[in-house]
Amino acid sequence: MAASKARVVDIHTHMYPPSYIKILESRSTIPLVRAFPQTPDPRLILLEAEVKSLEEAANDPAAKLPGRPLTSHFASLAQKVHFMDTHGIDISVISLANPWLDFLSASESGKIGESVNEEFSRMCGEHPGRLFFFAALPLTAPLETVLAAISHVRGLEYCRGIILGTSGLGKGLDDPALLPIFEAIAAAHLTIFLHPHYGLPNEVWGPRASSEYGHVLPLALGFPMETTIAVTRMYLSGVFDKIRQLRMILAHSGGTLPFLAGRIESCIVHDGQLVREGKAGKGRRTIWEVLKEQIYLDAVIYSKVGLKAAIEASGADRLMFGTDHPFFPPLATDEQGEWESVSLNADAVAKAVGEGSGEANAIMGGNAISVLRLDQSF
């Protein structure tokens, strides 16, 4: 009997449901969707770095347009399934893209969050076994509302985790006020998918960035550093030791953590304050150990070198394939065809561990199926 084909699972794939897009269309500050007369597609404008070009485009029809075209790939369920079929993806774990519900007021985020998560659940129900989702939390709402939201999504059949940004309740992921939320997520056996959005201050990129460098600096460098800083703060504050059941998948292969973990460790053991306070002595779990015990990494890194670093840091049994769809579409070819951004990640897996190998099959789908329980009802 021939061996069955290994399944491919995409755990990093986004959608903005139609109801969410309507919210963005009604806004005058980022995040927002804005139509411009010089282009047929409305523009999705999310990043702080895009504010200047948004202001310029509002006053000058010849100015460079901010954001990116809001095509059908961002909101259409049929388009998502077509994308999966085109790239041989058997299962997708979809999630609301940044900035999630973080910009909503405390009075509205709970209700809107419940509606968005229910919408995702209905989408998954239209393609049972092929679609699951990470829920979004109304973090601007009172604590009891957030905890109720965790309980609610825990009962949704296709929910397998929580997508979370690095701001948390506004003070970062080492904020003590987040602990009851982390505890509730862990108790519900939901995995956190940590995704960046806020980057680094615009001043870091210099005066030429907005006019000459496109989105390269904030996306290629700001996002990975944001993730690295957020998780290091969690580690230093003891979150992982306080909540041993907490499990996280880090977007973009953990930012720069696989490369910088050794330097972080060296700085800890040579820090006089931490040594005096007993935080750097024997018995301490190193960041290397946390990476191999409580953290998973996606494989959205686009190169063999980056993927091998991620494997060394966390283990091939903790890596999971992703596409980052609908971002990074082909610019010179039909968007309905194959995307180079997808093949770069798949090729990196094959080059790093060997095409068709057991490790490759695990990274491309087996790990996600096991960790996120995609073979069983919740």
Give tens-digit pLDDT for 250-301: 999 999 999 999 999 999 999 999 999 999 988 899 999 999 999 999 999 9
Question: Pairing between strand 159-164 and 131-136?
Answer: parallel
Rounded-to-integer distance, Cα 359 and Cα 315, Å: 10
Q: What is the tens place of the pLDDT at every residue in 126-145?
A: 999 999 999 999 999 999 99
pLDDT at 174: 98
Strands (DSSP E) along 5-137, which ranges?
9-15, 32-34, 43-45, 68-69, 91-96, 131-136
Q: Smallest Cα–Cα separation from 136: which of 99, 92, 91? A: 99
Three-state SS at 68: strand
Rounded-to-integer distance, Cα 158 and Cα 176, Å: 30
The model's pTM is 0.95
Handedness of CA 296, 144, 31, 210 (dihedral sign): negative
Q: Give the alpha-carbon dihedral of 293, 296, 299, 303, to 10 degrees.
A: -40
Phi-psi region at 300: left, alpha or beta (left = phi > 0; alpha = psi -120 to 50): beta
Task: Name the one residue in this structure whose structure tokens are 């979809």.
Answer: 94
Cα dist from 366 to 29, 128, 252, 292, 357, whole Å: 42, 18, 19, 17, 12
DSSP 8-state class, residue 79: H
pLDDT at 377: 54
Q: Smallest Cα–Cα separation from 123: which of 83, 91, 94, 164? A: 94
Q: Are residues 51 and 43 in contact, defined by beta-carbon separation less than 8 angstroms?
A: no
Q: Is the pLDDT of residue 313 over 90?
A: yes
* Partners of 325 in the β-ladder: 13
